[in-house]
Amino acid sequence: MATPVSPVIEFRDVARVYGSGAAEVRALDGVSLTVEKGEFVAVMGPSGSGKSTAMNIMGCLDRPSSGHYLFDGVEVGGLTRDQRALLRRHYLGFIFQGYNLLARTTALQNVELPLIYKGLGRAERKAAALAALDKVGLADRAHHDPSQLSGGQQQRVAIARALATGPQVVLADEPTGNLDTRRSVEIMDLLQALNRKDGLTIVMVTHEEDMAEYASRLIWMVDGQIQSDRRITGAG
């Protein structure tokens, strides 16, 4: 009999509480969900809905107050601080609204940075970083620094940096929030292609409904709970 495949991400009745007494805030209130390998999930909701808290827990940047978070079948709550750091380093890629590129460092060096922390040698780092830049269509901009790149190109460098380590999951926090409509569409076309052609698992927080339509599934959160969870047909 075949062994059942675990979801890559699983929340079991996850709560995250800040403060206590009259100042208590339940950022997440008993959230249960799964994300399967190869899914492209968009998470939306009003300010304070818990979507960013959920992403921080997925990225091992925060921990549940109660409940269970499993990554690829492993209970993350049972990991040490160092083990959680290794999980982030080897299995997760991050894309941020603000790009978070080092200003006086080339695109190539920015993409190499997580590979240094991963312990790769110089030649291996360079080859992996160039391959990631090529995947996002920026191999010819490898030696440009961020000031020589457009906002869309800077976000592509950030995506290449997220891809360079070969993550199981990419977590994208408002990846088009700083871009105009044209550049936003280019970035979403790229993310959708990485999901559909390469099978990359993506979880994206966004406040833009038209960007969420590129995903294959939409989770809507309100007051720390999932209000709806639906498949998107004809995404993009």
Q: What CATH number does the domain containing 179 carry?
A: 3.40.50.300
**% residues pLDDT > 70 (the chain):** 97
Bridge partners (DSSP) listed for residue 26: 17
- pTM score, two decimals? 0.92
For all residues of the chain together, what is the average pLDDT? 93
Instruction: Establish if 47 belongs to a structural domain.
Output: yes
- Provide the residue range defining the domain that includes 47: 36-66+81-231
Task: Compute the average pLDDT of residues 142-156.
Answer: 94
Q: How many domains does the chain have?
A: 1
**Residue 2 located in a structural domain:** no
Spatial CA neighbour of 26 closest among 11, 37, 15: 15
pLDDT digits (tens, 9 = 90+) for 7-58: 999 999 999 999 988 889 999 999 999 999 999 999 999 999 999 999 999 9
What is the separation, in whole angstroms, between the first and last Cα of the chain? 38
Structure confidence by residue, pLDDT tens digits, 187-210: 999 999 999 999 999 999 999 999
Distances in Å between the Cα of 211 and the Cα atoms of 72, 99, 102 are 27, 17, 27
Task: Give me the mean pLDDT over the 106-127 stretch.
Answer: 92
